[in-house]
A and B are shown apart, each in its own frame.
Chain A
Amino acid sequence: MTEYATILFSEVLKILMLLVPVLVSVAMIVWLDRRVWAFVQKRRGPNVVGPFGLLQSLADALKYIFKEIIIPASSNKVIFILAPIITMTLALISWAVIPFSEDFVLADINVGILYLFAVSSLGVYGIIMGGWASNSKYPFLGAIRSAAQMVSYEVSIGIIIINVLLCVGSLNLSDIVKAQENVWYIIPLFPMFVIFFISALAETNRPPFDLPEAEAELVAGYQTEYSGMMYAMFWLGEYANILLMCALGSILFLGGWLSPINIFPFNVIPSPIWLILKILLLFILFALVKAIVPRYRYDQLMRLGWKVFLPLSLTWVVLTAGYLMYFDLLPGN
């Protein structure tokens, strides 16, 4: 029994050591997002609480905690409460398979990339449940839009992942990073990186694809009826998902924990730092896109997903497979 207890304790400790930094960085990333957004528009952004406004998110969190949670009378209460919990949980459990360095990963499973894909495809449920359980028209419309959007863009993300997997020959995330020691996949698969980036924007409901919460049409989409801590959980889950997508992008295309060039000043820097830098780079790109691009119309969004990205990425799969086959570069077993 004590054996199980020690295993349980050490695992819980490991999980906490991963989750607490993730949650703190989610809070920081919200601040960064708002700052970048403000700088593009020549504003100052949050700069009052703490040095450079760094503690703004903490102040916001405090505000949310002490706000009253309002549950609409005609809502479906169990599902209404479950929805933000599911969003948050799904956003956090995906971090279990992200490799921060060669031996710094919580669960080094064989099907890591499939796990990430599965968890991100479950993410729709938090939104649908929230929208439906609110029993109100704007949340419901927002939820339907969001579900259709996420399902559509998941298809193209899946096919882009297949491209990378063809080059790697393994579903393990650490293997994917190790396969990029010679060249990062952003160079041979650059068009796929661009499509992945745009699909990730759509998948996480970021502008210019934030139609589920288009405030001009739908008030706030699926989270209209939420308040206080439950709203904050949706919000945290959303940003944790964005960070996760950035992490996935840096693992698939930017060489994960590897340093850009394997020479002296670069390879002394510990590998997790490199991964974090790459995540930050991608996140700043996300934030810049939010600031400079207007919102898509819904039919344009669907057209882009199904009629542009899907055929393009499928063609690229055929090209990659043909190239690897012809030059006998397929990773064998």
Chain B
Amino acid sequence: MIAHAVVFYIFSFIAIVSAIMVTVSRNTVHSVFFLILDFISISCLFIMIGAEFLGMIMLIVYVGAVAVLFLFVVMMLNVAQQKNEWFVASDSSSHIPIGLLVSLVIFSELLIVIGGWKYKAELQDSININLNSNLTNTQSLGNIIYTDYVHLFQLSGMVLLVAMIGAIVLTFRKRSGVKTQSYFRQISRERNEGVELIDVETKKGVKIDA
């Protein structure tokens, strides 16, 4: 048990410190790396409480995909320049009140969660799922998601799909004059379409692409 506790405290210490470092560190790319470290240590904590499936999915989805996109965006931005434009105090900066509003909402949500944690017994009463301890947690998760909560599951899938289509529609620009390669046209080209034999009269030349 001691080893278990020691490992738990190591991971939670790393998680908290890296979460603080995300907001404190001056370099945005470093912030993203600390965020990744945070994700990894939290998934380790998931694995430690026996939720191995959740831990692995956390690694695959958040660290393997989401954080890579974060990194992409952050690396592409000219962060140093933006720092000068954004964070140097000016009267016309409009994003600070919005940021404050968002952080206030998140803070109150956190308060609600912690409040719920205090009345833990009642929260647990509202969960009426019989867990079979013989099954691995992948199986028991599957049994619940695809039976009791199948509609919610489908609904969240639809929400994600709509978000994806929305992102594509918002960023899609039809550009004219772009030469694209058509594999079918390339492959189905034949000799008589591609090659033409012309007898060129001397000193007359020939017109190409008439």
Main secondary structure of the interface of A (DSSP, over half): helix
B63 lies within 8 A of A128 (CB): no
Contacts of A122 in B (CB 8 A): 59, 63-64
Q: How far is the CA of A171 from the CA of B142 in the complex (A)?
A: 13
B60 lies within 8 A of A128 (CB): no
A-contact 0/1 string along B110-148, CB 8 Å cutoff:
000000000000000000000000011111000000000
The reply on B8 being an interface residue by CB < 8 A is no
B68 lies within 8 A of A171 (CB): no
The reply on A117 being an interface residue by CB < 8 A is yes
A128 lies within 8 A of B56 (CB): no
Contacts of A117 in B (CB 8 A): 56, 60
A-contact 0/1 string along B54-78, CB 8 Å cutoff:
0011011001110010011001000
B64 lies within 8 A of A115 (CB): no
A111 lies within 8 A of B53 (CB): yes
B138 lies within 8 A of A110 (CB): yes
For B71, give the chain A residue with the smallest CB separation.
A128
B150 to chain A, nearest CB (A): 16
> For window 83-126 of chain A, which residues contact chain B by CB distance below 8 Å?
109-111, 114-115, 117-118, 121-122, 124-125
Interface size class of A (residues with CB under 8 A): 20 to 34
Q: How far is the CA of A158 from the CA of B135 in the complex (A)?
A: 24
> For window 14-60 of chain B, which residues contact chain A by CB distance below 8 Å?
29, 33, 36, 52-53, 56-57, 59-60
The reply on B168 being an interface residue by CB < 8 A is no
A171 lies within 8 A of B71 (CB): no
A110 lies within 8 A of B136 (CB): yes
For A1, give the chain B residue with the smallest CB separation.
B2
B52 lies within 8 A of A118 (CB): no
Contacts of A79 in B (CB 8 A): 33
Q: Which of B29, B135, B137, B181 contacts A333 (CB 8 A)?
A: B135
The reply on A144 being an interface residue by CB < 8 A is yes
Q: How far is the CA of A114 from the CA of B63 in the complex (A)?
A: 13
Q: Which of A114, A140, A144, A299 contacts B56 (CB 8 A)?
A: A114
A132 lies within 8 A of B29 (CB): yes
B64 lies within 8 A of A118 (CB): yes
B72 lies within 8 A of A144 (CB): yes
Contacts of B71 in A (CB 8 A): 128, 132, 147
Most B-side CB within 10 Å, residue of A122, A140, A158, A299: A122
Residues of A at the B interface (CB closer than 8 Å) are: 4, 76, 79, 109-111, 114-115, 117-118, 121-122, 124-125, 128-129, 132, 140, 144, 147, 151, 154, 158, 171, 299, 333
Given A111-B56, A118-B64: 7 more A-B contacts, CB < 8 Å? A111-B53, A114-B60, A117-B60, A121-B59, A144-B72, A144-B75, A147-B71
**CB<8 Å pairs between A and B, sample of 21:** A4-B3, A110-B52, A110-B138, A111-B52, A111-B56, A114-B60, A117-B56, A121-B60, A121-B63, A121-B65, A125-B36, A125-B68, A129-B33, A140-B75, A147-B71, A151-B65, A171-B136, A171-B138, A299-B181, A333-B135, A333-B139
